[in-house]
Amino acid sequence: MDVTGWGTADVRDGLRDLDGWLEPFLEGMGRKTRREWAPFYLRGLLGPGARKSLQPMAARLGLSGHDQLQHFVASPAWDDSPLWTVLAHEADRLVGGSGGYLVIDDTALPKKGMLSVGVARQYCGQLGKRANCQALVSLTLAQGEVPVPVGLRLFLPDEWVEDAARCARAGVPKAEATARSKGEIALSELDRVAAAGVRFGTVLADAGYGASAAFRHGLDARELRWAVGIPRNQKVYGVDVQLVPPSGRARKPVPDKEPRAAEDVLAALPWRRVTWREGTKGRLAARFAALRIRVADGAVWANNRHLPGEEVWLVGEWRSSGERKYYLSNLPRRTSMRALAAAIKARWVCEQAHQQLKGELGLGHFEGRSWIGLHRHALMTCIAYAYLQHLRLAGQSRTGPGKNAPPRPGTATIAKPARGAPRHHRQAVRYTRPVRPVSLLQAPVPTTT
């Protein structure tokens, strides 16, 4: 959407709308100077310009320097956890409910140097190869194709955890400088947003998380519905498997059948075409097969073979490219194939959110090296994203579902997301024509501290 035709007075109205929307966040910041600089930081992220690091943002905002923005984002003198809670409340207001999804994933931020916190040579999805990067575990609340990020937490590779001095230099809290898998971080973040009152119906995750029995069991222990990706060689049993008295040297009951790979179990089944929703270029469809099974994720009984676990859905997706993907889900037995497919494919919205956070709001542009600075910058990008979704949904409520909302005052908007496959998504955050520097359209620049 464009703001052509909106005058300076309209832009001032938009800025006042941002200030009003920010009030619950500002209340949790304590000192007046923080409450003054937070809107400036957000305007820097929301405004025009390709680079959202501190110096370019300060220049575009008409500031004499970037020291105060640096102090705001990297200072250990204040606790930003109340802001994450307010963000969770706002996300729940926008898209929370029993029909919502909580999508767990991770996103990588490429880095050239090795001094930034958590940087290591690891797989970087943005580059499609191993490279120096930071990996953030992400939680995104979504409903009706509208995502709102509610969590971004840095994963520390072993080489960092094993180097206490390195962690100390980067300001990693002692409680965080421990070996934790991405799945463990995700479950901890899930507990945090659940405690904040975020409502959702189903947890979604890709095979990077779904391959872990501990992660799936963690979701079960929280009595959550879930649908997760798995590798094709995940071992499963038929639902009719029985435990029988042991023979030979075995001391405990053993399964009366051997487990099989997921791809082998589904290979002989009929695969039928399923449409899960309408896209911009027509119906989105693929071939699916599904079967009730029991996962081989119980205790080990022999030769690294596991006893059968709970009964769940095993789902296979056969894409038009010829690629096959496999999933597990504990959705109810009566769930239709279309509902299974729709749940599995709903995960793509987090990829769109990651793309927008990095490509439009500067998630990966932070040039500091500290734990606090990285996480606070990530928090501010999530708050900026939630504000844009607030504008978008408010516009839709005025014009009716499925119609383009009229342009809202301000320097950034989120357009209706593309509805094709993730690799075909357009950038959904679109910037308007540059307007006068933000500092000229509001109260004077805050005083330094």
Who's near 241: CB < 8 A, 6+ residues apart? 255, 256, 257, 294, 308
Environment class of 180 (CB within 10 Å of its CB; exposed 0-12, middle 13-18, buried 19+) = middle
The span from the CA of 182 to the CA of 35, in Å, is 33
The span from the CA of 260 to the CA of 298, in Å, is 15
Return the structure tokens found at 310. 């709970």
pLDDT confidence of residue 248? 67
For residue 75, which of 372, 371, 382, 363 has the smallest C-alpha distance?
372
The span from the CA of 78 to the CA of 372, in Å, is 10
> Could you tell me the end-to-end alpha-carbon distance of the chain, in angstroms, rounded to an integer?
38
The pTM of the full predicted model, rounded to 2 decimals, is: 0.85
Environment class of 90 (CB within 10 Å of its CB; exposed 0-12, middle 13-18, buried 19+) = buried
Exposed e or buried b per residue across 306-338, where buried means at least 16 C-beta atoms within 10 angstroms of its C-beta: bbbbeebbbbbbbeeeeebbbbbbbbeeebeee
Which residues make beta-bridge pairs with 225?
Answer: 202
- Print pLDDT tens along the chain (449 aa): 222 233 344 334 555 689 899 999 999 888 888 999 999 999 999 988 889 999 999 999 999 999 999 999 999 999 999 999 999 999 999 999 999 999 999 999 999 888 899 999 998 888 889 999 999 999 999 998 899 999 999 999 999 999 999 999 999 999 999 999 999 999 999 999 999 999 999 999 999 999 999 999 999 999 999 999 999 999 999 999 999 988 766 678 889 999 999 999 999 899 999 998 877 677 889 999 999 999 999 988 877 789 999 999 999 999 989 999 999 999 999 999 999 999 999 999 999 999 999 999 999 999 999 999 999 999 999 999 999 999 989 877 665 554 433 333 334 444 443 333 333 332 333 323 232 333 222 333 444 43
Q: Can you state the percent helix, strand and coil of the chain, rounding each to 5? A: 35, 25, 40
Instruction: Give the C-alpha distances (Å, rounded to integers) separating 54 from 69, 99, 136.
Output: 7, 39, 21
The span from the CA of 396 to the CA of 405, in Å, is 5
pLDDT confidence of residue 304? 79
